[in-house]
A and B are shown apart, each in its own frame.
Chain A
């Protein structure tokens, strides 16, 4: 093991100060479920590591119209009944019991696809991310958080401190499609939020995971759905558009061709289930 120093700060202020002092040479981890495998395998060989398990960001708060989640809250906490139903569903389909006890909500934003199922639900719910550094903070919409594969807008001196999730104003659906029911990387993960008015879609958010360098909004599909009645012809067209605009990849789980195909099939099924609900 090459690690020379492991820092375990006891507050957010202490953590941001360490980050300001050491800069990008300090590898940041929360639950360790992404970073530790890389270190164990010798793929990542950091000299300095900072763990966030003791910084005091393990909390869920209810505010008017929103759920506020501390960045290092374990995923397991999101299974509780006070949490937005789609987030509970997404948490249940993210990793396994032991990993959910370790992996954190903030950390899930940094998990490379095809993992990171919870982040897809957060994206469909239009969550915002609070970033904190020494002497300042800013809030970024999750839709503008990722800039590429394992790349985000988080600066070298910033930490994700909190995630604010607006309570859904409409109907939601989450579907993770993988090769088995549990403990599996996704072929595609889909999260949808729809606001209906007069039997037409007033507002649509469609988030896709495992079919791009990071969780994506299917903007063309959303636009095609907005203002339309939710009928089979619309659903077929919308599913086709989402399949065309996503950016799937090939890995040991599925080919890019199959992933694109499954976006069409699974999004079609998700939207058809809304239809069946009336």
Chain B
């Protein structure tokens, strides 16, 4: 079977790529389209650094053949970032020192976005449960949990 053309919506924009059989969404994002916010960590579905949203649902793009997302809506961190400034989640991660090496950050922010979309007022336990598939080897997680709490506060109209 030769390469095929796959169409999907990436960050609101209709996108068309030519792919080899079973090429993953992660590979397409990073190596074909140059969307490198989505990281390539373990490629085993274990670290969460490649988390993207497919129709709003978090998935690990390293295990997802891009042909499976044909005609679906994919959101990456690039899609969250406004033209000017930062998304409230990004701002909260920045101000709460939730980023050190930064490798886990895009996945952390995407899963946090999915959480806040469903539950605008998550308690600490809900945040921890949502983040439990995302590995961070720098921060010890506390600043990340604080950042999500802070982002929820900002998105609910609270002052930073």
Chain A complexes with chain B: yes
Interface residues of A (CB under 8 A from B): 1, 3-6, 8, 31-33, 36-37, 39-41, 49, 51, 53-54, 76, 95-99, 101-102, 181-183
Which chain B residues numbered 45 to 66 have a C-beta less than 8 Å away from chain A? Answer: 45-46, 48, 51, 54, 57-60, 62-65
B residues in contact with A36, CB < 8 Å: 24, 45, 62-65
> Would you call B132 and A183 a contact (CB within 8 A)?
yes
> Would you call A33 and B45 a contact (CB within 8 A)?
yes
Number of contact residues on B: which range applies? 20 to 34
**A1-B23, A95-B133 known; A102-B63 Cβ under 8 A:** yes
B residues in contact with A1, CB < 8 Å: 20-23
Q: A33-B45, A97-B114, A183-B133 are in contact. List 11 more A-B contacts (CB 8 A).
A: A6-B67, A8-B65, A8-B68, A36-B45, A40-B43, A54-B68, A97-B58, A97-B129, A97-B133, A98-B59, A99-B133
**A6-B65, A97-B58 known; A182-B20 Cβ under 8 A:** no
Partner of A98, one of B1, B20, B23, B48: B48
- Secondary structure at chain B's binding surface: helix, strand, loop or mixed? mixed
> Would you call B132 and A96 a contact (CB within 8 A)?
yes
> Would you call A102 and B22 a contact (CB within 8 A)?
no
B residues in contact with A96, CB < 8 Å: 48, 132-133
- Scan B4-24; emit 1 where CB is below 8 A from any A CB, else 0: 000000000000000011111
Task: Name the distance in Å between B56's Cβ and chain A's nearest Cβ.
Answer: 10
- Scan B61-104; emit 1 where CB is below 8 A from any A CB, else 0: 01111011000000000000000000000000000000000000
**A6-B1, A32-B65, A51-B65 known; A98-B133 Cβ under 8 A:** yes
25 cross-chain CB contacts under 8 A: A1-B20, A3-B20, A5-B1, A5-B21, A6-B21, A6-B67, A31-B63, A32-B68, A36-B45, A36-B64, A39-B22, A40-B24, A40-B62, A40-B63, A97-B58, A97-B129, A98-B45, A98-B133, A99-B45, A99-B60, A101-B58, A102-B64, A182-B128, A182-B129, A183-B132
